[in-house]
Amino acid sequence: MRHILTLLIISISFLSCDSKVENTKTNNKQYITILGTAQDGGYPHIGCQKDCCAKFYNKTNKKKSVVALGLVDKINKQKWLFDATPDMHTQLATLEQHHLKTDKIIDGVFLTHAHIGHYTGLMYFGREALGKKDITVFAMPKMKQYLKTNGPWSQLVDLKNIVLTDLQHDSTMILNQQLKVTPFIVPHRDEFSETVGYKISGTKKTALFIPDIDKWKTWSKSIIEEVKKVDYAFLDATFLNQNEVKRAMSEVPHPFIQETIDLFKNESLETKNKVIFIHFNHTNPALQENSKKRIPIEKLGFRFANEGNNYEL
C-alpha cells in the first residue's frame, strides 16, 4: 500500500513538473518568435542620463535586446533569423535553448539594412568568435555589395564564414514546402544599403515585418492595404509621438505610434489587431511591458511585441 502511495506521489509530481515545462513552450510547429524589441541602440542606451535608462541601473527595468525575429520550423527542423543585431549571440542561444536545437547554429540570416542594429551581429560569425563556415546570409544587392567591399565584413566573406545569397525586391524565396519569404523595398535613410521589409508566409498565416521606415506617406504602398493582406504586421514604433523627440525629425524620420494609430482609426478592430508595434527607442515608454502608455493603445485594438512572444504561421 505504502509502495503504491509513493508511486502515486512520484507520478503526480512528474505530471505537474511536465505540465509546467509545457506552459513555457509553444505547441505550434511553425512560428515566429520575438527575440528583441528595442531600436538599434538597445536599452539601456549609450550616454542616456534620463529616467528611461536610470530605471535599468536602479533595477526597475530589465535590459531589452535589439529587434530580431526567429523563424522556427519544428517539422523540418530548421530555423532562421531576421536581422543580425548586436545582441545576436544571446538571441541565437535563445533560439537554440528554448525553441529548436539542431547541429546548425542557424539555417540562414535575413538582413533588412545596414544600420547598426540590423547587421553588426554578423561580427560574431567571424574568426574572433564563432569562426564556422558557410552561414547563409540573405541580402539585397546594395547590402551585399557593402558587406563584400568593406572591412571587417569583407573578411567574413573572404574566409567564407558567411555565404551571401541574393535577394530581389518582391521576389519570393522558398525556404521549404511550408515557408516562404519575400523582401520588399521601403523608404529609409539609405546611406550604405537599401532597406527592406519582409513578408513571411506559412501554410496558415502570413506576417509583415517593417522594423524601419520613413513616414508611411513616403512609401508607394498603402500600409493599411498591406496590413489587411496579412495576419500579423510587426511595424516600426521607434517613437510614441512628436513630444518624445527633441532632434529634428528630418534626421530620424519614423512613423510615430500616434500617427499609425490615427491612420488606422477608421479601420475595423480586426485590422487594428494585426498591428504589433516593435523597434522602440529607449525613450519610448511603450518599450516597457508594464507601461501605462500601452493601455489606451491596446484598448483600441493595437498590440505590442514582447521578447518571448510566439506567433503561429
* Least distance CB 44 / Zn ion (angstroms): 6
Three-state secondary structure along 206-243? EEEEECCCCCHHHCCCCHHHHHHCCCEEEEECCCCCHH
Question: How close are the terminal C-alpha atoms of the chain, in Å?
Answer: 50
Considering only residues 40, 83, 87, 107, which one is a binding residue for Zn ion as defined by CB under 5 A? 40
* Least distance CB 284 / Zn ion (angstroms): 9
Number of residues that bind Zn ion (CB under 5 A): 10
d(CA 289, CA 287): 7
Instruction: Say if CB 70 and CB 310 are below 8 A apart.
Output: no
* Least distance CB 68 / Zn ion (angstroms): 11
Instruction: Say if CB 125 and CB 161 are below 8 A apart.
Output: yes
- From 70-78, 165-173, 282-290, 295-303, give the range in contact with Zn ion by CB under 5 A: 282-290
Nearer to Zn ion, 45 or 294 (CB): 45
197 binds Zn ion (CB under 5 A): no
87 binds Zn ion (CB under 5 A): no
Compute φ and ψ for 188, nearest 5 degrees: -160, 170
Nearer to Zn ion, 34 or 313 (CB): 34
53 binds Zn ion (CB under 5 A): yes
Other C-beta atoms closer than 10 Å to the C-beta of 265 total: 9
Left, alpha or beta for 47 (phi > 0: left; psi -120 to 50: alpha)? left
* Least distance CB 220 / Zn ion (angstroms): 19
Q: What would the x/- binding string for Zn ion be over residues 229 to 268, using CB under 5 A?
A: ----------------------------------------
Q: Which residues would be at the binding site for Zn ion (CB under 5 A)?
A: 40, 45, 48, 50, 52-53, 115, 117, 212, 282
